[in-house]
């Protein structure tokens, strides 16, 4: 299948906006006299997303609804509890400016009872011009809401009125809404809610429609059971939600039985190997992974597997810190798994897990074999698992251990030395075989020790972990990620037409995640480095945090230099402190 290439290089952050922003449970509870602009909260999280090397955000429902977002009232208006269309425009622009793509939740199977077309049916009954918009209207019956007529509610939920997607007028109406999303916010993809309930012809129509506007548009369908090829194929969706492996990952770690997830992976590679799955460990409909696991310490191996298996990894907001949440019953069933959280105030946060995921993001984004390489099993036991990803001759070995102690993997290897990208440990191979010891509840991502990533080949600054000698880290030491080193760069030459530069003071280095003050007063956070596409000159990426958020880029040599400010020598950007 021809999934857009950008999704293969991506990791996705999943936000349920109404919960994330702390909105009222229903639209009726919202006091419209004060505009909250809550969706702008996302702007404060952009540096966080970039630190995790996340390159796409999937927003759950953002449109006007009666309660939980899946009961849409208006497909063209941001829910007032979240803010305005202009607020969301600013959010989308800032995300795109920072290289982060946008995926919206498309709820096309049903609408809420407050949707204008259904309100017209409730008022005008048989005389309504919208009778044909809904499935199985029966004006001789009655509904649980005592409407004086019956209609089909999705999955017997009568707050969700099932749309008739065989009606061309309905299809044209929905396509016009999608057109508005693309024209207004330049979205990059859609996740289709309840995709197994959608009409196949409708899916094909929206596939052709979106690809005609944006050839690299991404379509992902929510599918829980069944043969994924029914929906993920060249005419319909690019991929579906991988519920099979979602269950396999947490269940295999709970039961300490890697045979379960290994079987699921091998089955999927055999059945749908060309479908780039949407992989996840939890989401807005299921229990948080930290709650699901019987032994929390195995959560690190779960995320290593998520980031190294075939498909795009997705992190549900807050789960990068190991927050808990059990799915309940009744009207409040989802409150605990859709909480409002503040980045600087997350009780019980697991920073080690966050750093582990940041490191996994950096590793995956730098190694193409982890993005789209082949998969092969090398060693499988109940509590240990070794598999390989390979692309264009580059081999990456993933080793997982959830046994009661250290475990040593012995396996054939064509490299002279292997480096673990998670810890920096280096192992010497002997006679074409490697012997690697992994600690309890830890994992390794092993690559050719002489391998330089695409980032390292084009830029002197690096944000990946350094690689100390093997003997400096005992095998039993937890494989917690190392902080990124500070980049070292050459001095800057003077540039004609610009403020005079004195060059970079000896020993001065770029701090990724550092907060800086410009000599004119503005404050910024350095979020990463890049290379000029023509000259390969090392560039600094930094985010303005005073006034209106905005991303900037300039040569690192210029960012770090001292300049002549009206006869006074001073730093162009003065380091203040680490922001993260």
Per-residue pLDDT for 214 more than 50?
yes
The tens digit of pLDDT for each residue in 178-205 reads 999 999 999 999 999 999 999 999 999 9
Exposure string over 20-55, b if 16+ CB within 10 A, otherwise e: bbebeeebeebeeeeebebbbbbbebbbbbbbbbbb
Query: What secondary structure does DSSP assign to 148-206, as a single string?
Result: SSB-PEETTEEEEEEB-TTSHHHHHHHHHHHHHHHHHH---EEEETTGGGS-HHHHHHH
> What six digits make up the tokens of 464?
């990946």
- In this prediction, residues 461-465 reach a mean pLDDT of 31
Taking domain 501-578, whether its CATH number is 2.60.40.10 is answered by no
Q: Helix H segments across 341-386?
A: 351-366, 368-372
The tens digit of pLDDT for each residue in 418-441 reads 999 998 899 999 999 999 999 999
Q: Which pLDDT does position 578 carry in this prediction? A: 80
Bigger pLDDT: 568 or 354?
354
Structural domain spans, the chain: 5-109+168-370, 110-164, 372-472, 501-578
Least confident among 38-42, 150-154, 462-466, 481-485: 462-466
The number of residues in the chain equals 580
Q: Are the CB atoms for 109 and 103 separated by under 8 Å?
A: no
Task: Label residue 465 by pLDDT band (50, 70, 90).
Answer: very low
Task: Label residue 577 by pLDDT band (50, 70, 90).
Answer: confident
What is the model's pTM? 0.80
Query: What secondary structure does DSSP assign to 525-575, as a single string?
Result: EEEEEEE-TTT--EEEEEEE-SSS-EEEEEEHHHHS-EEEETTEEEESEEE
- In this prediction, residues 50-75 reach a mean pLDDT of 97
Compute the distance between CA of residue 127 and CA of residue 141 in angstroms, rounded to an integer.
Answer: 16
Q: Is the dihedral of CA 46, 50, 52, 55 positive or negative?
A: positive
Bigger pLDDT: 111 or 517?
111
Look up residue 285 and give its DSSP letter: T
Task: Label residue 160 by pLDDT band (50, 70, 90).
Answer: very high
Compute the distance between CA of residue 64 and CA of residue 13 in angstroms, rounded to an integer.
Answer: 22
Q: Which pLDDT does position 549 carry in this prediction? A: 66
- Classify 110-164 by CATH class: alpha beta
Of 3.30.1490.190, 3.40.50.1000, 1.20.120.1630, 3.20.20.80, the CATH number of 5-109+168-370 is: 3.20.20.80
Rg (the chain; Cα; Å):
26
Architecture of domain 372-472: Sandwich (2.60)
């Amino acid at each position: 299948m021809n999934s857009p290439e950008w999704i293969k290089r991506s990791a996705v952050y999943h936000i349920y906006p109404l919960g994330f922003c702390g909105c009222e449970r229903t639209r009726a509870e919202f006091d419209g006299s004060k505009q909250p602009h809550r969706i702008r909260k996302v702007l404060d999280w952009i540096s966080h997303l970039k630190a995790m090397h996340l390159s796409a955000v999937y927003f759950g429902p953002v449109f006007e609804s009666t309660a939980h977002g899946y009961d849409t009232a208006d497909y063209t208006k941001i829910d007032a509890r979240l803010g305005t269309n202009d607020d969301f425009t600013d959010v989308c622009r800032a995300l795109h400016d920072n290289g982060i793509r946008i995926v919206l939740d498309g709820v096309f199977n049903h609408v809420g009872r407050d949707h204008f077309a259904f309100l017209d049916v409730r008022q005008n009954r048989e005389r309504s011009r919208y009778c044909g918009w809904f499935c199985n209207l029966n004006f001789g019956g009655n509904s649980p809401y005592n409407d004086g007529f019956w209609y089909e509610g999705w999955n017997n939920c009568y707050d969700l009125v099932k749309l008739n997607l065989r009606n061309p007028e309905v299809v044209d109406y929905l396509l016009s809404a999608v057109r508005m999303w693309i024209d207004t916010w330049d979205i990059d993809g859609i996740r289709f809610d309840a995709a197994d309930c959608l009409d196949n012809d409708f899916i094909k129509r929206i596939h052709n429609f979106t690809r005609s506007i944006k050839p690299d548009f991404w379509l992902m369908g929510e599918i829980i059971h069944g043969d994924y090829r029914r929906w993920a194929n060249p005419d319909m969706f690019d991929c579906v939600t991988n519920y099979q492996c979602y269950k396999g990952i947490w269940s295999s770690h709970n039961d300490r039985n890697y045979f379960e997830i290994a079987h699921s992976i091998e089955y999927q590679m055999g059945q749908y190997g060309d479908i780039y799955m949407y992989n996840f460990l939890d989401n807005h409909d299921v229990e948080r992974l930290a709650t699901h696991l019987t032994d929390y310490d195995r959560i690190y191996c779960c995320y290593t597997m998520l980031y190294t298996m075939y498909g795009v990894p997705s992190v549900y907001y807050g789960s990068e810190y190991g927050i808990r949440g059990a799915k309940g019953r009744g009207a409040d069933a989802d409150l605990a798994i859709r909480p409002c959280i503040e980045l600087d105030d997350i009780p019980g946060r697991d920073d080690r897990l966050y750093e582990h995921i940041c490191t996994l993001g950096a590793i995956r984004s730098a190694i193409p074999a982890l993005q789209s390489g082949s998969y092969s099993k090398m060693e499988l036991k109940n509590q240990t698992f070794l598999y390989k990803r390979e692309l264009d001759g580059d081999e990456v070995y993933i080793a997982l251990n959830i046994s009661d102690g250290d475990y040593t993997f012995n396996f054939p290897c064509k490299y002279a030395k292997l480096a673990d990208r998670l810890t920096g440990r280096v192992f010497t191979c002997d006679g074409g075989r490697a012997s690697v010891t992994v600690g309890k509840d830890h994992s390794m991502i092993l690559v050719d020790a002489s391998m330089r990533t695409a980032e390292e080949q084009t830029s002197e600054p690096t944000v990946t972990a350094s690689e100390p000698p093997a003997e400096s880290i005992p095998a039993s030491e937890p494989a917690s990620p190392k902080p990124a080193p500070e980049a070292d760069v050459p001095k800057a030459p003077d540039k004609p037409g610009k403020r005079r530069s004195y060059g970079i003071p000896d020993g001065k280095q770029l701090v990724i995640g550092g907060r800086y003050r410009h000599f004119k007063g503005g404050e910024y956070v350095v979020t990463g480095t890049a290379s000029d596409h023509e000259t390969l000159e090392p560039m600094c990426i930094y985010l303005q945090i005073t006034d209106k958020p905005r991303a900037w880029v300039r040569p690192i040599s210029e960012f770090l230099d001292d300049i002549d400010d009206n006869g006074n020598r001073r730093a162009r950007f003065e380091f203040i402190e680490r922001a993260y």
